[in-house]
């Protein structure tokens, strides 16, 4: 089984957690490379690649675990916001039910 792993982001040099659920997700997708950047840097890169401004991003607490996460939109306050690991977990548990 997978265990949470601490990796160093090549972008901001901060360490981030490559969670067991993310590792599971990666292996399901046959992705053998570990993420080189933390979720924040990955998002920043994605925003840049799609030509969107980081101004659209906001830092909000995850509805599930409470950690601050960066999202590529302004939260409406209606929908709960999940951090990337809770989002993956929700996706995986949704996929594995039934």
Binding segment toward Zn ion, per CB under 5 A, in 21-29, 47-55, 71-79, 83-91:
83-91
Distance CA 89, CA 98 (A): 16
Binding of Zn ion by 65 (CB under 5 A): yes
The backbone torsions φ and ψ at residue 45, rounded to the nearest 5 degrees and listed phi first, read -65, -45
Nearer to Zn ion (CB atom), residue 31 or residue 90: 90
Identify whether the C-beta of residue 17 lies closer than 8 Å to the C-beta of residue 5: yes
Binding of Zn ion by 38 (CB under 5 A): yes
Contact residues toward Zn ion (CB under 5 A) are: 9, 11-12, 38, 41, 62, 64-65, 83, 86
């Amino acid at each position: 089984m997978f265990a949470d792993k601490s990796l160093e982001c090549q972008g901001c040099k901060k360490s981030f957690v490559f969670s067991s659920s993310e590792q599971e997700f990666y292996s399901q997708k046959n992705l053998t490379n570990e993420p080189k950047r933390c979720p924040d840097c990955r998002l920043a890169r994605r925003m840049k690649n799609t030509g969107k401004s980081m101004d659209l991003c906001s830092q909000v607490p995850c509805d599930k675990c409470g950690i601050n996460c960066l999202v590529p939109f302004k939260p409406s306050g209606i929908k709960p916001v999940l951090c990337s690991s809770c989002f993956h977990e929700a996706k995986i548990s949704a996929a594995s039910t039934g």
